[in-house]
Amino acid sequence: MQGMAVTPQVEASQAAPKKYQFDFGEGPVEKGFTGVSATTRYNEKMGYGFNTPENMKNVTAAGTGVASDAVQFLAFGTKSENTFNVDLPNGLYEVTVTLGDTARASVAAEGVFQLINMTGNAATDTFQIPITDNQLNLLVTEGKVGTNFTLSAIEIKKLSKHAVMKPTIYIGGDSTVCNYYPLANSLQAGWGQLLPEFVDTETYQIRNMASGGQIARGFRDDGQLEAILKYIKPGDYFLLQLGINDTNPKNMTTEAEFKEIMRDMVRQVKDKGAMVILSTPQGRATDFNSDNVHNSENRWYRHSILALAKEEKVPLVDLNVLSSTYFTSIGPEASGKLYMPGDSLHPNREGARQLAQIVADDLNRQGFEGFMSR
């Protein structure tokens, strides 16, 4: 916690509101929101503000309403002290973030990533977070270096006085798995983005920490695994699918190195008491032979993923083979329509939906709770 809240304020929090709304920038403030300028410094009396406003800047934004203006973070990084702080009674909260104009940005809070690679102006997403020190510390940070990291609005709703997240399905992966924005109607999608359609979301929340272009070493070392390890607990799942980008020579990851990095992540999560489930990536739209049979079993370090699952005694979704069976059943032309135009690797929204359904079907078949079969 970077801006200490005074004890009397915490004690008085029994009557505190269950919802907080902040509209950032120097433009008109939306009804029901509290206006916050880049110059608003945190103080104990207000209970909110920027920790270091000298590292903030008011900017315009192309959206409407709360998204018509924003603040820009001039200092950033998950460990940066240039945060927006809000005093909150301890408990579990739901935080909805609306960005300003930015190509790709991530949201961090409490020193770790919360949302990964939000793309496009006025992108909006929501996450749950347990507050245990009476204060939320949030900032917008790297999705893509060189772009502006901006924030238009946040809405904070208290869910429970107990600072424990409900059972959670964490997902790790690359561009075939990650979220694309707007979440509700993006043309491109990853199967992790569509998985909520096939999960009992009354019982489980889904945290998709996958990101485009990711490799095993990057996921482990650059903050995504750190965020998962901070919160994951017994009763949670961690679905991990990597390998596509690791096979690219530019990433200089041998198959043996890939396998050991994946093993390290598996063991770290198992040590937290959560269930790790490995997945193999689906193939390309063009992986059909002359008999119109789809097969991509030799792609993406798949054999090492299978071996690792066996050695570490963790469940496996062989999405590579399962998706090939599906693609073969519908044929090359229909399979091609499940990928982005002119792209044989990345699924479109319907393709991601089909892959998510295949993953959920297989997990349901294996007896895992929360996954709905067709």
- Is residue 52 helix, strand or coil? coil
Query: Which of the residues 80, 236, 323, 346 is marked catalytic?
Result: 346
Longest Cα–Cα distance of the chain, Å, equals 75
Would you give the DSSP letter of residue 171?
Answer: E
Catalytic residue among 303, 343, 344, 373: 343
CA distance 98 to 182: 11
As a whole number of angstroms, the distance between CA 212 and CA 81 comes to 27
Closest CA relative to residue 167, chosen from 94, 235, 225? 235
- What CA–CA distance (Å, rounded) separates 88 from 85? 9
What is d(CA 205, CA 184) in angstroms, rounded to the nearest whole number?
17
Strand partners, 92: 130, 160
Instruction: Say how far apart CA 5 and CA 25 lie, in whole Å.
Output: 24
Strand partners, 65: none
What is the SS3 assignment for 293-318? CECCCCCCCHHHHHHHHHHHCCCEEC
- CA 365 to chain centroid: 26
- Asked if 162 is an active-site residue, the reply is no
Q: Which residue of the set 175, 279, 323, 335 is catalytic?
A: 175
To the query of whether residue 175 is one of the catalytic residues in this protein, the response is: yes
Round to whole Å and give the CA distance between 80 and 98. Answer: 20
The answer to whether 303 is a known catalytic residue is no
Catalytic residue positions? 175, 343, 346
